[in-house]
Amino acid sequence: MYNIAIPSYKREQQLQEKTLRVLEKYNVPPDRVTIFVADEQQKEVYNESLKNNIYNNVELAVPTIGAARNFIEQEYYNEGDYVVSFDDDLTGIYRWVNEKKIEEIKDIENELINAGFEAMKQTGSKCWGIYAASNPYFMSNTTTTKLSYIIASCYGFIATHDPFLQRETNHGEDYEYSIRQYIRNGKVFRFNNLTVKTKYFGTGGLEEYRNNRYIYESISQIEQMFPNHCTMYFKKDGRAELRLKR
């Protein structure tokens, strides 16, 4: 049995219009879904906003996304639980068709969730992920277990109460987690033919305080922690980014 965790901050309306609508479209049972918020005030806001939504299980986590993801895996869920984490702004889950086309999957349980956890069993990984960019030109009908970027918008894991897996950053925390999982287990499983559509830079969430300086400090910290596994570079817009070493 799997659980779905959705960390969210000041996006109660967007959550309903996007991720929760996607889950309802796929008939995901409400008792599998838990929404995690940062504080009591946010819990009150979300409870009020979601009172007429079938997905209305709101739990208190902790502030900041990195710490919240640590709480979800290492404190809320039991060791060994199967968990899928979704961002709160998903608009669809897609499969690669060819270099010019992706199409929405038809069955979220069998095509994504069960497939991910089965792949983990077969490969010995403790987490699975998807291709980060919804661009069919760069996607392919392949899977990998090498060090690769497991983007936090949609990924699955077996809850492990291992202090080494605890994130220390917020921006780039999914890069950090990918590296930590790889170091600890020797592999991370990724579907290169599955992706999601979402808006990574919007309002609410991490955008409350994310700027180029904040991004640089987080990315630099990850590079300093894991110099053998990643290197920092700068994008055209001046944002720092990480490149994983393979």
| CATH classification at residue 169 | 3.90.550.10
* pLDDT score of 200 more than 80: no
> What is the reported pLDDT for 201?
44
198 confidence band (pLDDT: 50, 70, 90): confident
Would residue 207 count as lying in a domain? no
Secondary structure of residue 196 in the 3-state scheme: strand
Residue span of the structural domain in which 37 resides: 2-199
Per the CB < 8 A criterion, the answer to whether 223 and 230 are in contact is yes
Question: Is there a domain that residue 152 lies in?
Answer: yes
210 falls within a domain: no
Tell which phi-psi region holds residue 205, choosing left (phi > 0), alpha (psi between -120 and 50) or beta: left
Does residue 73 carry a pLDDT above 50? yes
Strands 189-191 and 127-130: parallel
| Single-letter amino acid, residue 27 | N
**Is there a domain that residue 215 lies in?**
no
Mean pLDDT of 215-237: 96
**Confidence label for 211 from pLDDT (cuts 50, 70 and 90):** confident
> Is residue 37 predicted with pLDDT exceeding 50?
yes
Least Cα distance to 54 among 75, 23, 76 occurs for 23
pLDDT score, position 74: 97
Apex CA 186: angle with CA 181 and CA 189, to 5°?
65
Tell whether 213 is covered by a domain.
Answer: no
User: Which position has the higher pLDDT, 238 or 151?
Assistant: 151
For 172, left (φ over 0), alpha (ψ -120 to 50), or beta? left
The structure's pTM equals 0.93
Given a contact cutoff of 8 angstroms between Cβ atoms, the answer to whether 45 and 58 are in contact is: no
* Domain-located, residue 205: no
> What pLDDT is stored for residue 210 in this prediction?
64
Task: Specify the number of domains making up the chain.
Answer: 1
**Mean pLDDT for the stretch of residues 66-78:** 98
Average of per-residue pLDDT values in the chain: 94
pLDDT of 205 above 60: no
Residue 204, domain member (yes or no): no
Give the Å distances, CA to CA, from 94 to 26, 109, 191, 238: 13, 13, 11, 30
Q: Let me know if residue 208 belongs to a domain.
A: no
